[in-house]
Amino acid sequence: MPYFHKTPGWLMKWLPSMTWHRQDSPKTLFLTFDDGPIPEVTPYVLDVLQRYHAKATFFCVGDNIRKHPQVFQEVLNAGHAIGNHTFHHLNGWNTPTNKYLEDLKACEEIIIDQGATTRFFRPPHGRIRRDQRQSIDQQYEIIMWSHLSGDFDPGLNTHQSIRAMKAASHGSIMVFHDSIKAEMNLKKVLPVVMEYFSNQGFEFKTL
């Protein structure tokens, strides 16, 4: 499915109840990582973040927390923030709302069981229906993004992705994925982007 590296302004205005960027955040960027934690990729991300003294927000899939609790603890111990990404990475467009909310709740419960909390939710694939959104935003801040790396795309032009991500500015929310599918592209794009913005004097913070 086609996607935008930079979220169009009209889309942000059309769905203003969701968070697309952080206002009033000079020289600050917000890195987010979806779909982990997994032992094959998440530790690599943690190493890169540590190298740049960066903090990030990890939108975790509950079933991956269940499978890899030690990796989840590594994320917490490094001082990063956690977001809810449903338990089974459900697509909201084709999931009944009651099932979607139950899956979100299951992810919330395992996050709490592991000693963490979160007030952030990101819908997998960015797909969420209005009724789901209206139920969820009573409890969570729904976090979308301003800049999408596209690292999940096997046909990604990494040079194009890097150029697009370098166009981020104060308060931008950037999306990467700590997943097997994204691993190769992630390793080509993430360090370059972080090096570029670090040299520009930006900080990377949790949401």
pLDDT digits 0-9 by tens, 136-181: 999 999 999 999 999 999 999 999 999 999 999 999 999 999 999 9
Q: How confident is the model at residue 1 (pLDDT cuts 50, 70, 90)?
A: low
Residue with structure tokens 């069981």? 113
H or E element, residue 10: helix 9-14
Residue with structure tokens 């000693």? 115
Q: How confident is the model at residue 114 (pLDDT cuts 50, 70, 90)?
A: very high
State residue 8's pLDDT score. Answer: 82
Exposed e or buried b per residue across 16-48, where buried means at least 16 C-beta atoms within 10 angstroms of its C-beta: eebbbbbeebeeebbbbbbbbbbeebbbebbeb
Residue 88 has pLDDT above 70, yes or no: yes
Q: Percentage of the chain with pLDDT > 90?
A: 91
Q: What is the mean pLDDT of residues 63-74?
A: 99
If one counts every other C-beta atom within 10 angstroms of the C-beta of residue 154, the result is 8
d(CA 146, CA 131): 23
Q: How confident is the model at residue 24 (pLDDT cuts 50, 70, 90)?
A: confident
Cβ within 8 Å of residue 1, ≥6 positions away: none
Domains (range + CATH), the chain: 28-201 (3.20.20.370)
Which residues does residue 84 pair with via DSSP β-bridges, in sequence order?
A: 60, 121
Residue with structure tokens 């969420």? 128
For 23, how many CA atoms within 13 A lie in the half-sphere containing its CB?
Answer: 3
Asked whether 173 and 32 are in contact (CB, 8 A), the reply is yes
**Encoded tokens for 103:** 């899956």
State residue 38's pLDDT score. Answer: 99
Q: How confident is the model at residue 2 (pLDDT cuts 50, 70, 90)?
A: low
Greatest distance between any 2 Cα atoms in the chain: 47
Q: Percentage of the chain with pLDDT > 70?
A: 99
Q: Pairing state of beta strands 173-177 and 120-121?
A: unpaired
Q: How confident is the model at residue 55 (pLDDT cuts 50, 70, 90)?
A: very high
Residues in the chain: 207
Question: How high is the mean pLDDT of the chain?
Answer: 97
State residue 4's pLDDT score. Answer: 75
